[in-house]
Amino acid sequence: MGSKRKKAEKQKDFVKAKLRVGKTAAKPDNHTDTSFIAKSISIPNQTINKKTSNTEKKYEVDLAHHLSLTKHHSDVTRKEVLNYIEQHLPSNPSLYKDILTSIVPLIIDQSQNVRNALTSLLSACATQQVGLLDLHIRSIILFIHSAMSHIKPDIRNSSTKFLSVLIDHATESLVRSYFIKTLKSYFTLLSWTLTNDKKAVSLAITTSSSIGGPSKKARIHHLSILRAFLSAALFPISSNERKLDYSKIKMIHPESYKYLLASSTQPFASLKLFVQEVPKQKNTDIQQNTKKDDNAFSLNDLDTVSTEDIDTRRKVMLDVFMAPMLRNLKNLIKEGGEVGREAHSCMKVLEQLQSETK
């Protein structure tokens, strides 16, 4: 009896179970259940990573949504979005890169209300984050120069408002890197000529009549900003306005300041180490403006001249821009009124430069 029972028990291991419809197959005896879920233990006081709060995440999402609306087809929506961003500027400096990347193209927006709101927003951003416009001046000045030569008269008339913001908040970066290009854009904006030949004068008159010259009110504002730009570029900063005076700092060596970090952004941009420029053809009409002095700059030299120091800016002004600017300012003074008054103030700046460089 015992042997039969043992044989029956051993035989059970080799018997194949019959499957029934609607019922799952029987699990083997050595089956291990792996359906459990491990629970994590969180200790907030001992965590290393600092998580952002829900309010910060919500604000970043809200800011990204409003920045996307800067490309809305309605000018009213674009203006309201700019006003909203100005009233809710973030305290996190890393968010300002996305803000400026989205709003700078609106410098050439078709709506005047949008451009006015953008001027206020740029000033607010520069006040909130000191040095912000210096970091993004390359893209900002690109759109400003484009606005100064735009085909739309309204965009040209409001272009110097943005230049005024740069003069107030990014003076050194503006005059050091973009002095020549800004003056050239000013000549285009005011329909002035750099040369006195008949071909250039007739071309300027034709261009001004076809695209429409600046209005009287706009010319007053343009000349006012031009005076501020020339004063900032051609005269040294006073000791009260200077951010850091190295002469009053005690150092190990009197020339230690030369080896410190530069106070300006991109101090070696003038060397053009990583820039490939296309060679330009010489223009015979421009060569007529070249002076007999070998050390004097000509219009052909302006593309390769670096205006990092004030002496170079003064020399460029005296050699190239002084004579045509005085000639055009005298014509504006003859008109009288507020335009003549602003032109006279610009001429005073140039006369002061001439008296100091004699």
Whole-structure pTM value: 0.71
Q: Are 163 and 144 within 8 A, CB to CB?
A: yes
| Residue 283: partners with Cβ closer than 8 Å, 6 or more residues away | 300
Tokens (6 digits) for 164: 């005024």
User: 64-96 as b/e, with b when 16 or more CB fall inside 10 Å?
Assistant: eebbebbeeeeeeebbbbbeebbeebbeeeebb
Q: Rounded distance, CA 101 to CA 16, Å? A: 72
Most confident listed range (5-14, 102-111, 307-316): 102-111
DSSP state for residue 46 in the 8-state scheme: G
Which has more confidence, 237 or 165?
165
With 0-12 CB in 10 A as exposed, 13-18 as middle and 19+ as buried, what is 136? Answer: buried
What is the per-residue pLDDT across 20-71, written as a single tens digit (0 to 9) for each?
Answer: 787 887 787 788 887 777 777 666 665 555 555 555 566 666 888 899 999 9
Q: Rounded distance, CA 69 to CA 81, Å? A: 7
pLDDT at residue 266, rounded to an integer: 62
pLDDT at residue 210, rounded to an integer: 43
Most confident listed range (77-81, 128-132, 257-261, 303-307): 77-81
Q: Rounded distance, CA 214 to CA 50, Å? A: 55
Q: At what angle do helices 96-103 and 112-128 cross, to 10 degrees?
A: 160
